Amino acid sequence: MRADPPGLNRRALLAAPLILAPSSLAACERFASAEVAPGPDAPPLKSLADFPIGATGMTGQLDDPVWVAAMRRDVDQITPEWELKPERILQPGFAYDFSASDRMVDWGHEQGLRVFGHTLVWYSQGLDQFTDALPTARFAAEFDRYVSTVAGRYRGRMVGWDVVNEAVAEDGDGLRDCVYARKLGPEAYIVRAFEQARAADPDAVLFLNDYNLENNPRKGATFLRLVERLLAQGAPIGGIGTQSHLDIEIPAGQIRDFFRDAASLGLPIHVSELDFPMQRDGGRAPDLRSTADRRAQQVARVGELAEAFMALPARQRFAFTTWGLRDSDSWLVREEGKNRPNESALLLDGEGRPNPAFQAVAGAFGR
């Protein structure tokens, strides 16, 4: 159920610089010394919290008995990682293929898991069909049909949907330029998508989802102001999704600052795609620090995220989802992803044993 739209008087707060007390900074760093929980005796992830713990999955993993056992043990919510994206469902001529998504959703329910839908509209997908050359009236009609058909197919079976994904510009300077914004309006396409999704699946919680909200304070503030404007326009936004692909070099306290501001909107918050790579992306100087130093910083940031999530009122803790369950499941290690076979960016290692960040999360969750 969506919260009532909040007042619009927080824009000045969101635009203002945030100051963190030295004592708070020190508290953020205490996770850096967290130790690894005993591997064989580590409790299931889902036992750590009284809110859902989720992970992603794909059809290729459903026939892997080790992965299936790990999912049954550790999580109570699943997000199809690829099968519900437009690039999988939308076919030439605006035809649809639900074979993969049906399999994922059916499997999740067979396992007794909550199923979360990702994603209905994404600026980077559907571009072979949704083009600038398509007449606007046809574009709008097909847009409405896609959102309503996909959401309606799983009516009553999804706990929530990422309705629009990554609407804010990369640097946080306004909204992203994309074909949906150009054809339907920069905010109008978002409102339209939420309205179609609400009509098609009225009981699902509808999310606006984005990334780098903790990493980039400017983008985080732009995102929250966008949510306020959309709510004022009547968009049935029911929750905020923060992907939380954490840069372990985020300054201490910055994650908590974002969650503090996000919480004031009163909406449920979903940590929707958590991972925390140890390797830097391109464009930055090589990281010559020791693995131990990078692990310590990684643990500190993940611990801060878990604490910030726990500081939310209970009704705002929608779910805590990792993008992959074990290190070996991560998109970061796959060739079509970042192709980093030695990356370790999740709570469990390739054997399902706890990584160092596991204990920080367990400690923050009070288990």
pLDDT in tens, 217-242: 999 999 999 999 999 999 999 999 99
Per-residue pLDDT, 14: 34
For all residues of the chain together, what is the average pLDDT?
90
- Residue type present at position 282: G
Residue 113 belongs to a domain with what CATH number? 3.20.20.80
Is 13 domain-assigned?
no
Is 138 domain-assigned?
yes
* List of E strands, 123-175: 160-165
Q: Which pTM was predicted?
A: 0.89
Is 20 domain-assigned?
no
Cα(354)–Cα(137) distance, integer angstroms: 52
Q: Compute CA 332 distance to the chain's CA centroid, rounded to the nearest angstrom.
A: 15
Task: Enumerate the active-site residues.
Answer: 166, 210, 273
Planar angle of CA 115, 118, 124, nearest 5 degrees: 170
Q: Does residue 59 register a pLDDT over 50? A: yes
- Number of separate domains in the chain: 1
Q: What is the DSSP letter of 334?
A: S
> Which of 8-12, 83-87, 350-354 is modeled with the greatest confidence?
83-87
Q: Does residue 11 register a pLDDT over 60? A: no
Q: What is the DSSP string of 8-42?
A: STTHHHHHS-----HHHHHHHGGGGGPPPPPTTTP
- Mean pLDDT, range 343-354, rounded to an integer: 94
Per-residue pLDDT, 137: 98
Would you call 150 helix, strand, or coil by DSSP? helix
Q: Does residue 8 register a pLDDT over 50? A: no
Which residue segment(s) compose the domain that 321 sits in?
42-280+287-364
For 86-112, write each residue's pLDDT tens digit.
999 999 999 999 999 999 999 999 999
Residues forming beta bridges with residue 326, ordered by sequence position: 348
Contacts (Cβ under 8 Å, ≥6 apart) of 101: 80, 83, 84, 88, 89, 154
Per-residue pLDDT, 198: 98
Q: Does residue 80 register a pLDDT over 50? A: yes
Cα(213)–Cα(313) distance, integer angstroms: 20
Per-residue pLDDT, 268: 98
Q: Does residue 19 register a pLDDT over 80? A: no
For 279-324, write each residue's pLDDT tens digit.
877 656 777 778 899 999 999 999 999 999 999 999 999 999 999 9
Per-residue pLDDT, 286: 74
- Mean pLDDT, range 170-181, rounded to an integer: 97
Q: Does residue 5 register a pLDDT over 70? A: no
pLDDT above 70: percentage of residues in the chain: 88
Q: Does residue 32 register a pLDDT over 50? A: no
Is 21 domain-assigned?
no
Per-residue pLDDT, 21: 38
Q: How confident is the model at residue 40 (pLDDT cuts 50, 70, 90)?
A: low
Strands 90-91 and 95-96: antiparallel
Q: How confident is the model at residue 147 (pLDDT cuts 50, 70, 90)?
A: very high
Which long-range contacts link 329-337 to residues 24+ away (Cβ below 8 Å)?
Answer: 329/55, 329/56, 329/61, 329/67, 330/275, 331/81, 332/275, 332/277
Instruction: At 38, list the tokens.
Output: 């005993």
Classify burial at 144, counting beta carbons within 10 Å of its beta carbon; exposed 0-12, middle 13-18, buried 19 or more: middle
Per-residue pLDDT, 243: 98
Which long-range contacts link 313-316 to residues 24+ away (Cβ below 8 Å)?
Answer: 313/263, 314/50, 314/51, 315/268, 316/263, 316/266, 316/267, 316/268, 316/269
- Mean pLDDT, range 73-86, rounded to an integer: 98
Is 30 domain-assigned?
no
Is 87 domain-assigned?
yes
Per-residue pLDDT, 6: 36
Cα(355)–Cα(332) distance, integer angstroms: 16
Structural contact between residues 318 and 239, judged by C-beta atoms closer than 8 angstroms: yes
Is 184 domain-assigned?
yes
Structural contact between residues 204 and 117, judged by C-beta atoms closer than 8 angstroms: yes
- Mean pLDDT, range 31-49, rounded to an integer: 66
Is 15 domain-assigned?
no
Cα(208)–Cα(360) distance, integer angstroms: 28
